């Protein structure tokens, strides 16, 4: 089993990178040493006892030498709002690293991200780059605000961007972009990774299946603990022809797309 | 001063201290070893074990409410056979942290059969979870009916040599009646409270948040209900009470002890502070040292002049 | 778009909107005029009125708990005679904000007599608070017994021409049974939930915080319990339900409406945000406007496919 | 009935004046206009929903022209702790002014304060001074830290201080100070006001009674609302030979000592 710890981490910075999205950088001496891309941390966002449950966030960067990690988060509800108000210098309680990371395999990986899904996939892209493998990165977002940010601070590898409102590069969703890109390209991917809204991941998986590629998807579920004791985060998983509930937090969050019952 | 005495004897089960991880929030114990030293806490209750394996409820299972947590896991578990095969043996060499098996039957026979199968040296005690709907009584849980409660206990006591802890549901009109029935039927201890039935609605989708519609409320929000019920039961029965519901801090522990609890369980707090049980055990000891209390058991029922429990202080 | 329709008819009582101040948290209405315009809310429930004046409980009466409030006022009130003489006449010229009198009898006769005395034009409806301990049944409150509940309602209905709202206690095993009994006995509406029995202990003094030992828990902490009970009762009865328990925000109002409440009461929140009722009435109207909902009543029971209530939308 | 309002007030300053005691200055345009000494405000101290109930604090100063009020508070529990962390510039929600103030009467008033009771009595002293009446002020506190502060920023009138540990001026409680002061003094008080711990007020009242003086005491009770609707703050009050429960918030907090059942 992977080692997990509770660590009190100092906030190095917590900045709004484009409207409603924040990048949080933390000094996490121990967790940074243990973490791999695709794993996540559970953060106690506010100090209030009104909101008792921690919230899960995937690693966006892991700098083992500098003892740093970062996450990118969208303000969605009460706790991400509270998190956005925490100031640098303050301490946050983290539990991590949690879950299993992405299996790193293949020579020509395709990474398909939507929304905040770009955070963990950027982390994976860095890991590939360190292995001298250049990933192909497809990213779908709502508009030019997000697109602009990542165009300026791109992940490793070749980046292609689609915006839903057409305000930046390709107009449409990321799977449409993929379909329009491929005929003109000579690249032969040998593995696919995806993270983002469930429907987008499903479409990506279906595309991968058609092309006979293994596709790893990072799933999201509301979590009670993050380390496998509450059974709050289950997902029906297909294995050897049988369905049974797996924990996204412990058995995932990364699953082989084959095992997921997409039309649940 | 000497170190305060923190051990306690519940029926024939000897705990090194009164802090116990609550069922469903402590996995099967071993998962928590990343965060704490199991040998520093009295024991823990396994996830609720049923006769057959159960997949639990579909859809979303967890929701946050003000100072609380709703869950509708639906007793997902591997079933008694698998549990005995794979989990129980792992506790062969753990002697300090007691394994209390939380068993949940659909009827008297299932409880009886599981109790028989759990006559194993690794098992320190059974905690009977009577919160399954009573099939004969229109969906009301077994724990809401004093007669069913008695029947289960009598059947289990016949076949089991283990201390039998009965876990009571707070969703009843009069907890005293149920507690009294449990005591009369031969229960060795009572643990309370289980979760309070609640629900939440997602106003954006106009649907219940939980897949199962209703769920069990736990966490700080329910502490006043738990303390009240421990107080009431402490005035009613003589067998030891294990108090729980919203315990998060040393002060919460003291509140439950003073209300009449002999030992304590920590539930939801394990999910967001997984080292909490070890911390509370230490803090309670430190509190006793600081206040010159030689045995934490002097705190039991301290606020309750009608406390009826019999406390066994042990030999010096 | 036209202004959304916010009025609602509960039995024969016409409210300009579904927001009602809850008993015991709204004084006798006039005290709140410093903070809000009574004519902007549907109505309010008076402090619980008893047959004779009551001094209430001794000692501390209020304690805060996580996201909640414990109270043990003990029905301090001036008694029905004084109430009719001094309070009721002040509502002669208030037509928009309905005066609902919360009556609390010790037995059937007291309820009956008070109902007779309240056949006054200023009184819009009666809310029967059955949370007094039943003298015949060992301290269990009247509202926990379907038979007593029925008896009180039948007696009151015989002598009263007012809409009769029955306020239910959450401290029962099966709220559906009590609600069904109330409907069968002729209740015109049901309000729920009253407070949840709880307590707190002051660990510094090792004594209960409240003079009365136990108290009623209210506030956000109990919202999941209230929503669940409204949901259950909405599947059980056809008469309108007035939902309450922890309502503080527009979202809370929507949750209760979608669960099946026709109108809403706000309790503890008045104490810390005394303009909250007027604000919520306005926010609910704004929400309907924004969402293009022409009548707030379309929200009633929206999340509940088994909702059985009959909603009277009125003429256009 | 006195007018009461909810007002959002900006924090001008919130400083620790001596260990564990804070002075909070607020811009309260409307409340300052309505307030008189002895009344109080209910403050929403933290923004959390975990702590729902407001907390009551008596006026320490009321500057109608400057639109300012201030309170002095001791950090006792969760909400006063939260209050101590609020920063200048932030807004606080106040309800006030609440309760009845001190009846201002007499030519030679004696003011007896203990602990934070000095806050409202200072306010009363100012009101007397404005009427060209010089009050005699007796203040009892634990040690030189509080004593020092008020010796340097004394209320109007003649100030006498007693410290429980004897680290400043008189060694003992304020009633002992009173008893030791009187024989040597020629002053003839004609009214007494007291605010502080209940036992101290009781002793003061008993002393006043022996000397045939009217004594007004400002009482404290845990409050649910502060404006008379919850009946949470009652005190048995003796009137015309009969005892009945009065609300400290609405009928008080100032009561004539005669009406109070001191040995409850
Ligand atoms: C493994 C994993 C990794 C994630 N990584 C990221 C990330 O890198 N960046 C990012 O912005 N978001 C990430 N999320 C989602 C993030 O956890 C939620 O946005 C966050 O919990 C919302 O909290 P809130 O209080 O703001 O919203 P709430 O008001 O609580 O709810 C808003 C929505 O957030 C989701 N949510 C709420 N509580 C939880 C919970 N305990 N666990 C999971 N989802 C919840 C629900 O779908 C809910 O409808 C991840 C989720 C998971 C499971
Ligand atoms: C009319 C009045 C005027 C007051 N003026 C001042 C003042 O000028 N300066 C000052 O420092 N304090 C004053 N107090 C006391 C102050 O209200 C309490 O110290 C404060 O409420 C404590 O809150 P807490 O959350 O920090 O403590 P808690 O943790 O809530 O409790 C600590 C203690 O404070 C008291 N307390 C708690 N809640 C309340 C409540 N709602 N109402 C009253 N008392 C409560 C209780 O005795 C309790 O034991 C006044 C109280 C009253 C009734
Ligand atoms: C996620 C979760 C799962 C639970 N599963 C069980 C269970 O299987 N058996 C049981 O008896 N109680 C179960 N409980 C109830 C707890 O053991 C405990 O009684 C309750 O949560 C109240 O304590 P708390 O407020 O400390 O959480 C569960 C609680 C939670 C939060
Ligand atoms: C201080 C206080 C006094 C109350 N007094 C009464 C009462 O006299 N009669 C009654 O039926 N309910 C009474 N209640 C219960 C409320 O009307 C309401 O049912 C309960 O508080 C739950 O709603 P809430 O969470 O919005 O407060 C009282 C509640 C509080 C907080
Ligand atoms: S979140 Fe608790 S088991 Fe996965
Ligand atoms: S505090 Fe509510 S009536 Fe006084």
Q: DSSP letters along D115-137, please?
A: GGGHHHHHHHHHHHHHTT---EE
B140 in contact with chain A, both atoms CB, cutoff 8 A: no
If pLDDT is split at 50, 70 and 90, which confidence band does C131 have? confident
Bridge partners, D23 (sequence order): D15, D72
If pLDDT is split at 50, 70 and 90, which confidence band does B228 have? very high
Residues from chain B that touch D50, judged by Cβ atoms under 8 A, are: 66-67, 220
**A173-182, A234-243, D214-223, D255-264: which is most confident:** D214-223
Mean pLDDT across chain A, nearest whole number?
A: 91
Mean pLDDT of C149-157: 96
Distance C55 CA to ligand 2 centre (A): 24
In this prediction, residue C133 carries a pLDDT of 63
D52 in contact with chain C, both atoms CB, cutoff 8 A: yes
Q: Residues A131-158: pLDDT tens digits?
A: 999 999 889 888 888 888 888 888 888 8
Q: Residues D124-172: pLDDT tens digits?
A: 999 999 999 999 988 988 888 888 888 888 888 888 888 888 788 888 8
Helix locations, D35-189, DSSP H? 78-84, 118-130, 144-152, 174-181
Q: Is the CB of D253 under 6 A from ligand 6?
A: no
B197 and C254 within 8 Å at the Cβ level: the answer is no
Separation in Å, CA of D55 to nearest CA in chain A = 18
pLDDT over 60 (residue C138): no
Query: Quick one: how far is CA A96 from the chain centroid?
Result: 15
If pLDDT is split at 50, 70 and 90, which confidence band does A168 have? confident
D48 in contact with chain A, both atoms CB, cutoff 8 A: yes
**Closest to C168 (Cα-Cα) out of C154, C187, C159, C156:** C187
In this prediction, residue D154 carries a pLDDT of 83
Nearest-angstrom CA–CA distance, D184 and D198: 27
Residues from chain D that touch C35, judged by Cβ atoms under 8 A, are: 4-6, 95
Separation in Å, CA of C152 to nearest CA in chain A = 40
pLDDT over 60 (residue C316): no
**Catalytic annotation present for B253:** no
In this prediction, residue D149 carries a pLDDT of 86
List the subunits that have 3+ CB pairs under 8 angstroms with A.
Answer: B, C, D
In this prediction, residue B314 carries a pLDDT of 65
pLDDT over 60 (residue B137): no
pLDDT over 80 (residue C103): yes
pLDDT over 90 (residue D48): no
Separation in Å, CA of D45 to nearest CA in chain A = 13
Contact yes or no for A222/B62 (Cβ under 8 A): yes
If pLDDT is split at 50, 70 and 90, which confidence band does D264 have? low
B213 and C231 within 8 Å at the Cβ level: the answer is yes
In this prediction, residue C137 carries a pLDDT of 54
pLDDT over 90 (residue A185): no
pLDDT over 90 (residue D10): yes
List the subunits that have 3+ CB pairs under 8 angstroms with D.
Answer: A, B, C
Ligand 4 pocket test, candidate residues D53, D221, D230, most atoms within 8 A of CB: D230
In this prediction, residue C310 carries a pLDDT of 82
In this prediction, residue C93 carries a pLDDT of 79
Q: Is the CB of A253 under 6 A from ligand 1?
A: yes
Q: Is the CB of D221 under 6 A from ligand 6?
A: no
Mean pLDDT across chain C, nearest whole number?
A: 93
Nearest to B259 among C172, C174, C201 (CB): C201
In this prediction, residue A180 carries a pLDDT of 83
B205 in contact with chain A, both atoms CB, cutoff 8 A: no
In this prediction, residue B110 carries a pLDDT of 95
Residues from chain D that touch A49, judged by Cβ atoms under 8 A, are: 48, 50
Separation in Å, CA of B177 to nearest CA in chain A = 31
The total of other beta-carbon atoms located within 10 Å of residue A153's CB is: 10
A44 in contact with chain B, both atoms CB, cutoff 8 A: yes
The rounded percent of chain D whose pLDDT value lies above 90 is 71
Helix locations, chain B, DSSP H? 80-82, 108-117, 146-159, 175-185, 223-234, 250-259, 269-272, 276-291
The catalytic residue among B45, B97, B132, B253 is: B132
pLDDT over 60 (residue A201): yes
Nearest-by-CA chain C residue for A52: C66
Distance A229 CA to ligand 1 centre (A): 18
Q: Is the CB of C226 under 6 A from ligand 4?
A: no
Per the structure block, which two tokens stand in for C236?
């059980």
Q: Is the CB of D217 under 6 A from ligand 2?
A: no
In this prediction, residue A69 carries a pLDDT of 96
Q: Residues C183-234: pLDDT tens digits?
A: 999 999 999 999 999 999 999 999 999 999 999 999 999 999 999 999 999 9
In this prediction, residue A1 carries a pLDDT of 54
pLDDT over 90 (residue B109): yes
Q: Residues C23-73: pLDDT tens digits?
A: 999 999 999 999 999 999 999 999 999 999 999 999 999 999 999 999 999
In this prediction, residue B315 carries a pLDDT of 56
Q: Is the CB of A187 under 6 A from ligand 1?
A: no
Q: Residues D181-214: pLDDT tens digits?
A: 877 778 888 999 999 999 999 999 999 998 899 9
B67 in contact with chain D, both atoms CB, cutoff 8 A: yes
Helix locations, chain A, DSSP H? 29-34, 78-84, 118-130, 144-152, 174-181, 198-210
Nearest to B171 among C173, C199, C224 (CB): C173
Would you tell me which residues 240-269 of chain C have a C-beta closer than 8 angstroms to some C-beta of chain D?
248, 268-269
In this prediction, residue C315 carries a pLDDT of 55
Pairs across C and D, CB distance < 8 A: 90
In this prediction, residue A55 carries a pLDDT of 97
Q: Residues D84-114: pLDDT tens digits?
A: 999 999 999 999 999 999 999 989 999 999 9
Q: Is the CB of D7 under 6 A from ligand 2?
A: no
Calculate the dihedral angle through the C-alpha atoms of A224, A228, A233, A238, rounding to the nearest 10 degrees.
Answer: 180
A52 in contact with chain C, both atoms CB, cutoff 8 A: no
In this prediction, residue C136 carries a pLDDT of 55
Q: Is the CB of B22 under 6 A from ligand 3?
A: yes
Q: Which long-range contacts (CB under 8 A, 24 or more apart) does B283-291 make?
A: B283/B250, B283/B253, B284/B6, B284/B17, B284/B18, B284/B19, B284/B250, B284/B253, B284/B254, B285/B3, B285/B4, B285/B6, B285/B17, B287/B250, B287/B254, B288/B4, B288/B6, B289/B1, B289/B3, B289/B4
Q: Residues C161-180: pLDDT tens digits?
A: 999 999 999 999 999 999 99
Distance B62 CA to ligand 1 centre (A): 12
In this prediction, residue C288 carries a pLDDT of 97
Q: Residues C264-275: pLDDT tens digits?
A: 999 999 999 999
B25 in contact with chain A, both atoms CB, cutoff 8 A: yes
Nearest-angstrom CA–CA distance, B183 and B178: 9
Per the structure block, which two tokens stand in for D119?
């806050």
Q: Residues D208-250: pLDDT tens digits?
A: 998 899 999 999 999 999 999 999 999 999 988 899 999 999 9
In this prediction, residue B308 carries a pLDDT of 85
Mean pLDDT of A191-197: 95
pLDDT over 80 (residue A257): yes
């Amino acid at each position: 089993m992977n080692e997990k710890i509770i660590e009190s981490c100092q906030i190095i910075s917590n900045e709004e990178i484009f409207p409603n999205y924040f990048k949080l950088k933390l000094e996490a001496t121990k967790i940074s040493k243990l973490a791999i891309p695709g794993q996540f941390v559970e953060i106690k966002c506010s100090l209030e006892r009104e909101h008792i449950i921690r919230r899960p966030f995937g690693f966006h960067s892991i700098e083992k030498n500098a003892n740093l990690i970062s996450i990118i988060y969208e303000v969605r509800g009460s706790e991400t709002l509270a998190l956005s108000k925490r100031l640098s210098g303050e301490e946050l309680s983290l539990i991590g690293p949690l879950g299993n990371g992405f299996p790193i395999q293949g020579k020509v990986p395709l990474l398909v991200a939507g929304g905040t899904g770009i955070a963990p996939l950027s982390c994976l892209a860095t890991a590939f780059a360190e292995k001298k493998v250049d990933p192909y990165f497809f990213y779908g977002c709502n508009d030019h605000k997000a697109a602009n940010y990542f165009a300026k601070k791109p992940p490793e590898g070749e980046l292609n961007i689609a915006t839903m409102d057409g305000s930046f590069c390709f107009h449409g969703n990321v799977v449409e972009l993929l379909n329009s890109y491929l005929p003109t390209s000579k690249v032969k991917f040998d593995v696919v990774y995806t993270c983002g809204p469930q429907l987008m991941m499903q479409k990506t998986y279906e595309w991968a299946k058609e092309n006979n590629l293994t596709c790893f998807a990072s799933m999201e579920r509301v979590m009670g603990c993050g380390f496998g004791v509450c059974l709050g985060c289950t997902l029906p998983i297909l294995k050897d022809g049988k369905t049974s509930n797996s924990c996204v937090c412990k058995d995932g969050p990364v699953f082989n797309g084959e095992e997921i019952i997409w039309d649940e | 001063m000497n170190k305060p005495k923190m051990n306690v004897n519940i029926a024939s089960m000897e705990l090194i201290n009164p802090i116990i991880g609550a069922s469903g929030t402590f996995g099967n114990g071993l998962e928590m070893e990343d965060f704490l030293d199991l040998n520093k806490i009295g024991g823990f209750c396994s996830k609720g074990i049923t006769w057959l394996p159960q997949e639990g409820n579909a859809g979303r299972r967890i929701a946050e409410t003000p100072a609380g947590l709703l869950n509708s896991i639906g007793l997902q578990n591997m079933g008694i056979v698998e549990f005995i095969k794979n989990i129980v043996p792992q506790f062969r060499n753990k002697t300090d942290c007691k394994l209390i098996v939380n068993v949940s039957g659909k009827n008297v026979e299932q409880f009886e059969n599981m109790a028989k199968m759990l006559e194993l040296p690794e098992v320190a005690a059974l905690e009977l979870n009577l919160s399954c709907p009573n099939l004969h009584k229109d969906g009301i849980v077994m724990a809401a009916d004093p007669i069913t409660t008695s029947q289960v206990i009598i059947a289990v006591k016949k076949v089991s040599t283990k201390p039998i802890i009965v876990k009571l549901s707070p969703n009843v009109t009069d907890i005293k009646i149920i507690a009294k029935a449990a005591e009369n039927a031969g229960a060795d201890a009572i643990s309370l409270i289980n979760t309070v039935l609640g629900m939440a609605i997602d106003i954006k989708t106009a649907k219940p948040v939980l897949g199962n519609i209703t769920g069990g409320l736990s966490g700080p929000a329910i502490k006043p209900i738990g303390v009240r019920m421990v107080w009431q039961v402490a005035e009613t029965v003589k067998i030891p009470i294990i108090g729980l519901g919203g315990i998060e801090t040393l002060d919460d522990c003291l509140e439950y002890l003073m209300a009449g609890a002999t030992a304590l369980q920590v539930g939801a707090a394990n999910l967001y502070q997984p080292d909490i049980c070890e911390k509370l055990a230490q803090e309670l000891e430190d509190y006793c040292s600081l206040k010159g209390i030689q045995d934490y058991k002097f705190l039991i029922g301290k606020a309750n002049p009608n406390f009826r429990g019999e406390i066994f202080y042990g030999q010096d």
